[in-house]
């Protein structure tokens, strides 16, 4: 059985930087790592790519040939990858003996809670290659500084968890920069534990735009709390201890799955 991570999250959340940092960390502790770039819009890679989707399909070519914008082009590329899953399987097979896999996915959030192509790619790989994959969902920590944006991030995290149906870890990335966006309304634990969201209501009411949707916000917070699935671990990719903590959480979650099985 081969282990790995599916790295997802909105644009700018630090997915590629995470893959680069995590691959370096795992190499330092003696693991062989292969990073697989499945983002056809990512043309500036800081890591050495074991497999690159651009060898199969290029976003720029798709946009020109089919008169699509970036979002439509990414959906097309994922659909094309799903239809050519044998290409990806053949590229991965030589790595399965002794490599840990990191899949760097596009940041278009619709791919992970509206469209099924990316999910189908993941599920086919799991079935064909007997992979054990965990989703690492990155959220930029600066969203905690705005109650409305934080609730949106919670909804996105929950939707992605329910759609992908994988073991799942939510990560607040760039935690080292969080103070540069201003003082948080609550301690950091409030944002990582995701409990008692009703306390956000006062701060939302201070903004006339948010106050207008008070009832809707209240209902959305109740949905998040009723599912009781979302929590976060924090990450500064430049600090080894936080990278190790994320990997340790991954290992614990995987052990829990084995116990349940």
Q: Give residue-wise pLDDT tens across range 140-178.
A: 999 999 988 999 999 999 999 999 999 999 999 999 998
Q: What is the mean pLDDT of residues 77-97?
A: 96
22 pLDDT more than 90? yes
> Among 112-121, 122-131, 222-231, where is mean pLDDT lowest?
112-121
Q: What is the mean pLDDT of residues 212-236?
A: 92
The sign of the torsion formed by the CA atoms of 127, 7, 33, 82 equals positive
Q: What integer best gives the mean pLDDT of the chain?
A: 91
Please state the pTM of the whole predicted model. 0.92
Per-residue exposure over 117-156, b if at least 16 CB sit within 10 Å of its own CB, e if not: bbbbbbbebbeebebebbbbbbbbbbbbbbbbebbebbbb
- pLDDT of 259 reads 52
Q: How many CA atoms lie less than 13 Å away from 204 in the CB half-sphere?
A: 22
- pLDDT of 248 reads 85
Q: Which two tokens stand for residue 201?
A: 């209501």
- pLDDT of 50 reads 97
- pLDDT of 183 reads 85
Report residue 94's pLDDT band, with 50, 70 and 90 as the boundaries: very high
Q: Where are the alpha helices (DSSP H) in 68-116?
A: 70-83, 85-92
> Among 48-52, 147-151, 248-252, where is mean pLDDT lowest?
248-252
Report residue 261's pLDDT band, with 50, 70 and 90 as the boundaries: low
Distance separating alpha carbons of residues 87 and 141, to the nearest angstrom: 36
Q: What is the DSSP letter of 219?
A: H
Report residue 205's pLDDT band, with 50, 70 and 90 as the boundaries: confident
Q: What is the mean pLDDT of residues 5-11?
A: 95
- pLDDT of 140 reads 96
Distance separating alpha carbons of residues 34 and 23, to the nearest angstrom: 8
- pLDDT of 258 reads 56
Please report, for residues 21, 39, 110, 126, 253, the alpha-carbon distance to residue 57 in angstroms, rounded to integers and kept in the order given: 26, 10, 20, 22, 34
Distance separating alpha carbons of residues 142 and 178, to the nearest angstrom: 5
Coarse DSSP helix, strand, coil percentages of the chain, rounded to the nearest 5 percent: 60, 15, 25
Note the CATH architecture for domain 2-194+230-256.
3-Layer(aba) Sandwich (3.40)
């Amino acid at each position: 059985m081969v282990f790995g991570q599916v790295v997802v999250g909105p644009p700018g959340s630090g997915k590629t930087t995470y893959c680069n940092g995590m691959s370096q960390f795992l190499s330092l502790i003696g693991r062989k790592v292969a990073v697989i770039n499945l983002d056809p819009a990512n043309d500036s890679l800081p890591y050495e790519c074991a497999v690159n989707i651009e060898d199969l399909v290029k976003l720029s070519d798709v946009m020109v040939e089919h008169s699509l914008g970036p979002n439509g082009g990414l959906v097309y590329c994922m659909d094309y990858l799903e239809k050519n899953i044998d290409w990806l399987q053949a590229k991965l097979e030589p790595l399965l003996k002794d490599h840990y896999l990191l899949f760097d996915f596009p940041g278009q959030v619709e791919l992970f809670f509206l469209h099924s192509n990316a999910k189908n790619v993941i599920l086919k790989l799991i079935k064909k290659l007997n992979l054990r994959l965990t989703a690492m969902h990155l959220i930029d920590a600066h969203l905690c500084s705005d109650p409305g944006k934080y609730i949106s991030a919670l909804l996105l995290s929950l939707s992605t968890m329910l759609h992908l149906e994988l073991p799942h870890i939510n990560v607040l990335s760039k935690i080292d920069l969080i103070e540069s966006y201003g003082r948080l309304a609550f301690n950091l634990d409030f944002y990582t534990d995701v409990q008692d969201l009703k306390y956000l209501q006062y701060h939302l009411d201070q903004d006339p735009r948010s106050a207008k949707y008070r009832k809707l916000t209240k209902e959305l917070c109740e949905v998040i709390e009723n599912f009781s699935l979302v929590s976060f671990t924090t990450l500064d990719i430049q600090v080894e201890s936080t990278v190790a903590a994320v990997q340790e959480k991954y290992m614990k979650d995987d052990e829990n799955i084995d116990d349940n099985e």
